[in-house]
């Protein structure tokens, strides 16, 4: 009896959470007709946003030209990841708009809009299932075994996968094994490679990766960026020195836009961030 009561209690808790999700409103669009999405210039025009009354992003304006790399840097909590959420349309800006080729973001069908973006998130959650299912999650077409292996090699995850007891069929998540943050991110990179969308959003992991995993991830990302319009949120200045434009965010909005050299010279915050990074790298080198 006592075991039964405990299990009813825990099921009750879990069921409440499931119903919470089932009762959530579906994402609905009010538009009668949609504009055709087209690949082109992404334009943030005076975008502001806050999750509640407190404004997090203030009056953000910048442009992203096709086939270039835009990097976003700034202190923790200024709203870098939030900017990606707005791009993906998880939230709508409170002021201002985002345009693609001059067309307002909200005039483009949500499903089509999202299909244009590949997103490698900061924490790369893993789903319960096999490694293969995790890589193929959300991919609408059929992927052959050869392609899966080719892509995994490009994303530098093939080697660690084949070392696991069941290779690509190894179970992950609750009943399966755990993998490291760096390995999770490489699985997300493989998924993004398979998706092959024109826009690529990369949110660099903040968790301290060791230098070796960092180099492996950097190599995988470089392959991913090729031929794409990329926006990368960087926590290490060393990874974005060649970006076409770097946007420095602070709590008052954009504090500067330019190349690495231009910002080092003109932008105090960027200069400080670069110095902090440099010191952290030196510390890493002298670690016993
Ligand atoms: N879903 C949410 N609901 C309410 N507040 C949120 C939510 N997500 C983030 N925030 C808050 O918004 C602010 C910006 O968060 P965000 O994750 O965009 O920062 P960030 O610049 O990506 O930081 P980091 O460099 O640490 O990743 C933070 O104060 C955070 O607590
Ligand atoms: Mg973030």
| 169-202 residue pLDDT tens | 988 887 777 788 888 888 888 898 898 889 999 9
49 Cβ neighbours under 8 A, 6+ residues apart: 55, 56, 57, 79, 82, 86, 91, 93, 94, 95
Phi, psi of 238 (to 5 degrees): -60, -25
Alpha-carbon torsion (266, 268, 273, 279), positive or negative: positive
- pLDDT, residue 157, reads 86
Strand 229-233 with 245-250, pairing: unpaired
Residues in the chain: 288
- pLDDT, residue 274, reads 84
Please choose from 47, 73, 80 the residue to mutate so as to test ligand 1's pocket, defined by most ligand atoms within 8 A of CB: 80
204 is catalytic: yes
pLDDT digits over 210-250, tens only?
667 677 777 777 777 778 899 999 888 877 888 899 999 99
Ligand 1 touching residue 76 (CB < 6 A):
yes
Ligand 1 touching residue 110 (CB < 6 A):
no
d(CA 283, CA 278): 9
CA of 288 relative to ligand 2 center, distance in Å = 30
Q: Is 228 helix (H, G, I), strand (E, B) or coil?
A: coil
251 within 8 A of 220, measured Cβ to Cβ = no
Closest by CA to 99, choosing from 62, 73, 72, is 62
- pLDDT, residue 90, reads 92
235 CA to centre of own chain = 13
Catalytic residue, candidates 204, 219, 268, 281: 204
CA of 79 relative to ligand 2 center, distance in Å = 7
d(CA 15, CA 45): 43
Looking at the CA of 78, name the nearest ligand. Answer: 1
Domain boundaries, the chain: 42-124+197-286
Please choose from 80, 82, 254, 276 the residue to mutate so as to test ligand 1's pocket, defined by most ligand atoms within 8 A of CB: 82
Task: Measure Cα distances from 189 to 38, 137, 193 in Å.
Answer: 24, 12, 6
CA of 237 relative to ligand 1 center, distance in Å = 20
- pLDDT, residue 285, reads 55
By alpha-carbon position, which residue is closest to atom 18 of ligand 1?
79
Superfamily of 42-124+197-286 according to CATH: P-loop containing nucleotide triphosphate hydrolases (3.40.50.300)
Containing 257, the helix (H) or strand (E) segment is: strand 253-258
d(CA 109, CA 38): 12
Q: Is 203 exposed, middle or buried (0-12, 13-18, 19+ CB in 10 A)?
A: buried
pTM for the structure as a whole: 0.85
Q: Is 250 helix (H, G, I), strand (E, B) or coil?
A: strand
CA of 124 relative to ligand 1 center, distance in Å = 16
Q: For 35-139, list the strands marked E by DSSP.
A: 42-49, 57-64, 69-73, 95-100, 103-104, 117-120, 129-130
Instruction: Chunk the chain into consecutive blocks of 10 residues (it has 288) and report each block's average pLDDT, rounded to whole numbers.
Output: 93 92 82 69 94 91 93 91 94 93 87 89 85 90 90 87 89 79 86 89 73 73 81 85 91 91 90 78 57
Please choose from 48, 49, 51, 55 the residue to mutate so as to test ligand 1's pocket, defined by most ligand atoms within 8 A of CB: 51
d(CA 189, CA 281): 25
Q: Is 86 left (phi over 0), alpha (psi -120 to 50) or beta?
A: alpha
Ligand 1 touching residue 51 (CB < 6 A):
yes
By alpha-carbon position, which residue is closest to atom 28 of ligand 1?
77
258 within 8 A of 267, measured Cβ to Cβ = yes
Looking at residue 282, the DSSP 8-state letter turns out to be: H
Looking at residue 66, the DSSP 8-state letter turns out to be: T
d(CA 162, CA 157): 9
Ligand 1 touching residue 80 (CB < 6 A):
yes
d(CA 288, CA 30): 60
């Amino acid at each position: 009896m006592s075991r039964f009561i405990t299990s009813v209690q825990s099921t009750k808790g879990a069921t409440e959470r499931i119903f919470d999700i089932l009762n959530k409103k579906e994402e609905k669009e009010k538009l009668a007709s949609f504009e055709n999405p087209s690949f082109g210039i992404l334009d943030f025009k005076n975008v502001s946003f806050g999750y509640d009354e407190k404004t997090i992003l203030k009056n953000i304006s910048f442009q992203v030209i096709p086939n270039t790399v835009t990097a976003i840097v700034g202190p923790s909590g200024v709203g870098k990841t939030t900017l990606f959420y707005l791009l993906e349309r998880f939230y709508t800006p409170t002021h201002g708009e985002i345009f693609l080729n001059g067309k307002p973001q909200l005039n483009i069908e949500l499903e089509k809009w999202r299909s244009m973006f590949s997103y490698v998130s900061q924490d790369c959650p893993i789903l319960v299932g096999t490694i293969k299912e995790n890589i193929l999650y959300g991919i609408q077409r059929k992927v052959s075994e050869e392609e899966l292996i080719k892509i995994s090699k490009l994303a530098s995850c093939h080697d660690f996968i084949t070392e696991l007891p069941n290779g690509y069929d190894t179970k992950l998540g609750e009943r399966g094994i755990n993998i490291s943050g760096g390995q999770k991110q490489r699985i997300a990179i493989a998924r993004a490679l398979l998706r092959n969308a024109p826009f690529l959003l990369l949110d660099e992991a903040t968790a301290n990766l060791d230098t070796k995993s960092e180099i492996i991830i950097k190599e995988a990302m470089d392959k991913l960026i090729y031929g794409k319009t990329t926006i990368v949120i960087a926590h290490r200045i060393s990874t974005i020195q060649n970006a076409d434009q770097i946007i420095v965010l602070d709590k008052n909005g954009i504090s500067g836009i330019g190349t690495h050299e231009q910002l080092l010279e003109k932008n105090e915050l960027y200069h400080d961030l670069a110095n902090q990074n440099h010191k952290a790298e030196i510390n890493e080198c002298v670690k016993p």
